[in-house]
Every structure is written in structure tokens, then in C-alpha cells.
Chain A
Amino acid sequence: MFRTSHLLLKLAIFALVVLGLLMIFLDARITSTFSEKMLELSAKVYARPLELFAGAALTPDDLAYELQVLGYRTVSAPRRPGEVSRNRSRFDLYARGFHFPEESEPERLVRVEFDGNRIKDVFTGDKRIDLMRLDPVWLGGIIPRQGEDRVLVELDDVPKVFQQGLIAVEDRSFYQHWGFSIGGIARAIFSNLRSGQVVSGGSTITQQLVKNYYLTSERTLVRKLTEVLMAVLLDLHYEKDQILESYINEVYLGQDGPRAVHGFALAAQHYFGRSLEQLDVHQHALLIGMIKGPSLYNPERNPERALQRRNVVLEVMAVQEVITPEQSAAARAMPLGLNKQQRIQDSFPAFLDLVRRQLPQDYREEDLANRGLSIFTSFDPLLQRQLESSTAAVMDQLDRSGKLQSASVVTRIDTGEVAALVGGRKARYAGFNRALDARRPAGSLLKPAIYLTALERPDEYSLATVLSDTPLTIKAAGAKPWQPQNYDRKAHGDVLLYQALAQSYNLASARLGMQLGVDQVVDTLARLGVEEGVPRMPALLLGAGEYSPLDMARMYQTIAAGGFRMPLRSIRDIVDANGEPLQRYPLEYERTVGLQAVHLLHFALRAVVREGTGHGVYRYLPESFAVAGKTGTTNDGRDSWFAGFSGDLLAVSWIGRDDNGVTGLTGGSGALKVWAHFMARTSKEPLAYRMPDGMQTQWIDDFSGFVTGEGCPNSRMLPFIIGSEPRQRTDCAPRDSDTKDWFKSLFGSNG
């Protein structure tokens, strides 16, 4: 007797110790991760704010779109922040104001007047405003570890009726219980016993949240026990409102293609194309009803079942006195009210992906612990919209089958800031981000590195150096002899250096690269910003290796900036909840290649689009608009590339197949079109750098490469680093001439 009770006591103590240890373990797990989970939810990512000032190059439709994405409501006379009225080229808008890292922008009624495609004036009342900025578009939240983008809400922004309805349906005693509800569990056990299987969870909101965050969906007693314990601990540590807010942002509400719809804010946009605040009660009820079975009650696939479920929710809301019986009846008479239009969904997964990766590692651990982190980025919704529509327009024309994929990166050449990014044809869906992760050979996109290496040696090379475009065999130790071919399978004999690049001749380029040395070209690539995936072998000269569109953007950014390497930044500032800057990413220039050599390279890249493989761009751009670029095509047209820049923007576009199959496209017949379509509609400044000191132009005979006179046969003007001009002269004397070439037309010399 004594022994038995002793044993029982021992067992009981043992059980208590185990339970205690389990509690300690679970408690540690919750306190160490739940705050982080909540905080991660609250890191907000913003686009660049739109600057408004007299003279700004902006179209009225651009402003209208920006305001639309910002959710400004169109009214006849704006009276509250967030309202706008438009009369053709005149906007009256009540700016919301915003706390920016350095200073605050007040909320105020502003008039913006346009003159064509520029802002003519900005006023508030009678006072002229020199410069102001709109509130920045909110791109979403960032959850670094899980790699998802979400639209997040704070509880204060969730309509009260919605909150009450949610509690009425899902967890009536939410504000009273300790994380679990005896009544709920009893009911669940009863119904489970009656049916002989597990049919009901009886979970509180807290339990559901725990389940979503920490547990698998298996239905065992142990898991259930863990869930209850963790729910109690969660309830102990955190405010009810914090738990409810997390739940509202976490709950699963269906699929949007490959993307899971988590949280009511994203669901509101997905199903209704509006924000949660803007929904009517019948729409709230539909979303609340979906929790029970996001797939079963999916209004798009099962509209009737969804309608029934919604009406049940509306009845419960009336019984629980969240709404009046009259409101309930009226709402039940409403149709589902789904958004059938194409969604303007401000979801930019590809760009958020980049931001996430550029968040420094230490942020994820230390500074994310600051609730309410704001991340200000360089994202430009206007450029993004055009990049997406250019991609769609060109890809629909090139490929109806949908097998071809495309990715593009756009930066501002002055700062290296990434302004727009498309990671695939379905730009609004998260998925394989080809702009960052597709690694392909770059074809002739790498050639500028060869030519730049040469042009940095003015004693040996200039744009007029005669190269030999004739067959060659390259033997490397341990490799098969390699015989490169030209795209047209012909050899072109003697060509000038700039022509070889403009026409993208492989034989001349490979010869030049071998003369200079592969190591030298690798070094130049590194100075241009390409260091990974570069094979140190002759095939590199014609583009071998593995490069993402972002890698190519880094290389061409250095070239576009005039020889200054800078990181491609997506983040400008990170600010904590109090508006205190945590980190600024300052603009810094590093000159890594010769300024004069880059200027010569610019000339050759301009020749590419004027008379070489990239001449197709002028089917899109006006003749007078100077740009520079390079086509790239890999074996059998598996990859079609184009990289190029104007005076303000750089874009790199790629077209190819995910299975690396043949596309049938060259750089010029594929990616170039996306690039030029985009540039023609967005770039505001032609390329127009001042020629660096120590350079001059000279008339050259285009066939012999000799110095010649203006007006002589085959004469054309080329820039030179002083002292690098050809020594030989033709015997032609300069004469007056009407011949103008595109390069000469840049100079006012003989106008």
C-alpha cells in the first residue's frame, strides 16, 4: 500500500517535472521567436517618394497613376488628406504628408499644374512650392526568414466591425479566455466522440495562431496538448491586441497562383481589389467565413458555397449584435462583390526579393528587434509599370506559346539605384526571380570588357586600330582547340576596332582578347563589378560563364556612369519606429577604369545602336536621342540579351527559356525590343557626357584607319585620347562638305 502510493507520488513528481521542463522549453521558444515574428511583420518597405517641382519631367498620367497606387480617392473637391480631383492637366490634391528620415512633409492642399509633359507649377493656396514630395508608396512588409511579401495592417487600421465579426465567429471569448477555451474543447471532444473521429478543432484564435506559427497540421493528442500549452504561454506574455493583430496578418485565406494569400489585408486586395478599410460588411463577412475552409469556401471556385457561408457569418454577426438584423439582412442580399477587373495590385515580389537580400545580415538579428522598422527604397512605381507593360507587349508579340521567359533590371545611372525589376513574364507573382537568379552565359555582352582593356592602353590601341577578323584556332592546355565563328559564319578581314565591337565580330574580338590576355580581361571585368561566375579561359572572351541580369546591370552601370563602380542599391535608408535613422546607404563613387577609355567605349557602344547589331533601337527611339548599348546572343539563340543606357537610365533585358532551350532569337531580335520599348517611354535624358580632358576628335578614313580630312571619302569623326591618333595619313585634303555623321552632329563645331 505504502509502496504503491510512493510509486504514484514518484510518477506524479516525474510527470510534473517533465511538464515543467516542457513549459520552460515552449516558453523559451515563444518568447524568443514570437516577438520576432511580430516585429518582422511590421517592417515596412516604401518606394521612392515622388518629387514634385516646377520643371519636373512627369506626365499628368504618371501623377494620376502614382496617386492611384497611393490610394488617393478621386473626388470633386478634395477636403481631406488622401483626396484628389483632376481637371485635365491640373490636379488639386490633399497630400497626406509623411515623416521622412530627414524631415517631415506636411499634409496640405496642393495644386499641381502641367505644361505638356512637365510640371509647370506647384502651389499651396497662393504660395508657390519649390519642392515637395508625396507620401511614398507602401510596397509591403518584409519577413526576411520566410521570404514572402505581404500586405500588413496594424490593428488600429482594421475596422472595428470587422474585428468584432471575426471574434464573434471564430472565438467569442477571445478577450476573456487564457489562450484556450474549456467550452470550445469540451464541444470539440463531444463532437469528435460522437463521430468517432477528429472533426472539430475547437481552437481559439490564440491556438490557431500558435498552430500556424509553430506546429504542423497533424491532428494528434500530443500536438493538441502542445498547442494549448503554447497558447496559454502566448496569452500570458502578450496583449490580446497584439495577438489579434498577428492573427489578422497571418491567417491563410487561399492561393493566388503559386502564392499563398496570408492575412486579411492581402486577401482584401486579392478578392476585392480594395483595402480592408474600404470593404463593406458583406465583404468582411465573406473573408471571415473563409477561415473555416479557404479552399472549400473559395468565392472564385465555389461561389455558391462561399455565399452560403458568408450569410451564416452575417447571421452570427447579427445574433452577436455586431451589426443590426437590418444590416445583416441587407448584406445577405448583396452579391459576392468580387473584383473581376484586372487587378492593380501593388505587389512587387521581384523587387522586394532584392531588398530582402540586400538587408544586411546583422539587420535580421539585431535591428529587426525594433518594432516598426521602415525601409526606404529606390523603387519607382512609374518605371516599374512601364517595364512590366513593355515586357508584356514585346513578349506577347514574340511568343504566344508562353515558353519564353524574360527578366529586366533598371537602374539610374547617376546613383546605381535599382528603380525597377521584372523577374519573369508574370511580374506580379512571386516565383523564380530570373533577374537575380537566372545564371546564363552572356554572349557578346562581355565584349566591352575586351575593348575597354585595349582602350586603356592608348599607346597601343585606339578606336581606329585595325583588327583582323579572320579565322583563328585557340589552343589551351588540356582543352580541345577552339575555333570561334562569326554569327554570319563569314570572316570580314581588316576592320577598325570600333567597327568590330559595333558589328560584334567574334573573330576580331577573340583575336584582340588573346592579344591582351584572358587574365587582363578578367581583371577589367572585376573592375567593372563582375567577379563571380567568370571562367578564366579563352571562351570567356565570347561570353562564357554564368551571369544574372543583375550581374550584367552591375557591369553596365559602371560603364554607364562613366567608369565609376558603385553597388546596385535598392535601399536608401532604414529608420526605426521613432523616425531615427538606423542606417543610411550613402552614395559613393569609386573610379575603377580610365575615364578617357570609357568615353571611347561609349563611342563604340553608340556605334552599336547607330550602325551595328543594335540599330533596331531607333525603330523605337527618336533619331536625335543618343543612347549606347550592346546585344548579346548565346549558342543557337538560347539567350537573347540587351544592355544599354541613355543619359538617365540603364536597363538590361534578357529573354530565354527556363529549360535553356533554343529561342530562335538574337539579342537584336529579342531583348533589344523590350529594352527599346521601355526606354522610348521612360528615358528623359539622352546620353550627353562632356568629353573628358585630354581628348580630341579626328577625321579618320573608315576603311584604312588613317587620319584624313573632313569631306574626304569614307571620312568620319572619331574621338581619341590625345597622342593615340593614327600616325598614317591619307593624301586627301580637307574640304567643305555637307556629310554629317551621327557623332559629328554632337559637336557644334561646324554647325
Chain B
Amino acid sequence: MRLSHMLFRFTAVGLLILLAACSTYTPPASTPAPVEQPEPEPEPKPKVATPPAKLPQTPPRPATPSASAALQPLLAKAAQATERGEYEQALALLERAQRVDPDSAEVYLGMAQTHQARGNAAQARATAERGLLYCASEAQCNALRAYTR
């Protein structure tokens, strides 16, 4: 699931860059910006032509390359802490995970789960709602939506 998810992300970014390239706006003279764009994946993928009326989604941004190697151990530790009932520690770990990858919906999901486990449904809901701004797959979005009802 992660692989296809990544492929989708890269394809989406590729499309974004292609589109940006044919923008009608003329680029300004000098742009000293050190903002780097990830390389688009050349992989061809069946294009899903979504007419605007059918809820086009902003393509999710690419995951920070290999940030997941840094992220996963933190998420695992946080999940264990939540299971042990050590919610403060779990949240501290998740906040650190969020600093490593601020746009990871997984981190938001972990936070929502922890808030829910400690009985703070309002905070679980608000956190999941914010996570929904970052979720990239239907499964991920649905997992977050479960906390918003």
C-alpha cells in the first residue's frame, strides 16, 4: 500500500510541475530562492481524468524522502506509550515526529488516537480535522474521519 501511495504522490507532483511549467505567468527576472523541487517520477501511470465537478483533490505533496525511516520508530514508540497509558510521553514523541515531518497525516492520526485514548474526544476531533488537510489516501482520510464524527 505504501508503494502505490508513493507512486501516486510522485505522479501527482510530476503533473503539478508540468502544469506549472506551462503557466501563463511569465517568470520574474531573478529568483534567488533556494527552494528545491523533488524530481518528478518518470513512471507513466494511468491518468485519472477528474472533471472539476467531481471533487478534484490537490495532489498531496511528496513525503520528505526517507523521512519515514526517522518517523516510523517514533510512531511505534508513541503507539506503545499510548498502550501503556503513558499519554504525555506518547504526545511528546508524536510532537517530535511532527517536527520531523510536519505534513504527515499518520502523525495526526497517532495524536488523535492518543487524545481519544485518554478520553479527550474534543481534542481528538480537532486534531483529526487538521490531519484531514494532509491525508493522501482514501484509507488514511477515512481513518481520520472516524474521529471527526
How many Å lie between the Cα of A742 and that of B19 in the bound state?
9
User: If the complex has contacts A690-B58, A690-B60, A717-B52, are A619 and B29 also in contact, measured as CB distance less than 8 A?
Assistant: yes
Q: Which of A57, A610, A747 has the most CB of B within 10 A?
A: A747
- A749 and B66: CB pair below 8 A? no
List residues of chain B with CB within 8 A of the CB of A680. Answer: 31-35
The smallest C-beta distance from B84 to any residue of chain A, in angstroms, reads: 14
Contact of A745 among B19, B74, B99 (CB under 8 A): B19
- B132 and A690: CB pair below 8 A? yes
A51: interface (CB < 8 Å): yes
B98: interface (CB < 8 Å): yes
A589: interface (CB < 8 Å): yes
Chain A: CB-nearest residue to B30: A619
Contact of B67 among A55, A590, A683 (CB under 8 A): A55
List residues of chain B with CB within 8 A of the CB of A59. Answer: 34
- B100 and A691: CB pair below 8 A? no
- B60 and A564: CB pair below 8 A? no
Contact of B53 among A102, A619, A698 (CB under 8 A): A698
The smallest C-beta distance from B92 to any residue of chain A, in angstroms, reads: 5
From residue 83 to 108 of chain B, which have CB atoms closer than 8 A to chain A? 88-89, 91-93, 95-96, 98-100, 102-103
Number of B interface residues in the complex (CB < 8 A):
71
- B35 and A591: CB pair below 8 A? no
The smallest C-beta distance from A698 to any residue of chain B, in angstroms, reads: 7
- A414 and B98: CB pair below 8 A? yes
- A686 and B61: CB pair below 8 A? yes
User: If the complex has contacts A101-B92, A620-B33, A690-B57, are A51 and B100 also in contact, measured as CB distance less than 8 A?
Assistant: yes
A741: interface (CB < 8 Å): yes
B1: interface (CB < 8 Å): no
Contact of B20 among A117, A562, A624, A692 (CB under 8 A): A624
List residues of chain B with CB within 8 A of the CB of A692. Answer: 132-133
List residues of chain A with CB within 8 A of the CB of B119. Answer: none
Q: Which of B33, B73, B89, B135 has the most CB of A within 10 A?
A: B33
List residues of chain A with CB within 8 A of the CB of B66. Answer: 53-55
List residues of chain A with CB within 8 A of the CB of B4. Answer: none
The smallest C-beta distance from B33 to any residue of chain A, in angstroms, reads: 4
From residue 1 to 40 of chain B, which have CB atoms closer than 8 A to chain A? 12, 15-20, 22-25, 27-37
Contact of A685 among B15, B30, B103, B111 (CB under 8 A): B103
Chain A: CB-nearest residue to B72: A130
Interface extent on A, as a size class?
35 or more
B55: interface (CB < 8 Å): yes
Chain A: CB-nearest residue to B95: A587
From residue 442 to 480 of chain A, which have CB atoms closer than 8 A to chain B? none
List residues of chain A with CB within 8 A of the CB of B58. Answer: 688-691, 746-747
B127: interface (CB < 8 Å): yes
List residues of chain B with CB within 8 A of the CB of A591. Answer: 126, 129-130
How many Å lie between the Cα of A335 and that of B80 in the bound state?
61
Chain B: CB-nearest residue to A738: B22
Chain B: CB-nearest residue to A572: B95
Between A and B, 26 residue pairs with Cβ closer than 8 Å are A51-B70, A53-B69, A55-B66, A55-B67, A57-B36, A118-B65, A131-B69, A414-B102, A584-B88, A588-B123, A589-B123, A623-B25, A624-B23, A680-B34, A680-B35, A685-B61, A685-B103, A688-B59, A688-B60, A691-B56, A693-B132, A696-B52, A739-B24, A746-B16, A747-B52, A749-B51
Chain A interface residues toward B at CB < 8 A: 48, 51, 53-57, 59, 101-102, 116-118, 130-131, 412, 414-415, 561-562, 564, 584, 586-591, 595, 610, 618-625, 647-648, 680-681, 683-686, 688-693, 695-699, 710, 717, 738-742, 744-751
Chain B interface residues toward A at CB < 8 A: 12, 15-20, 22-25, 27-37, 47-61, 64-67, 69-70, 72-74, 88-89, 91-93, 95-96, 98-100, 102-103, 111, 123, 126-127, 129-130, 132-136, 141, 145
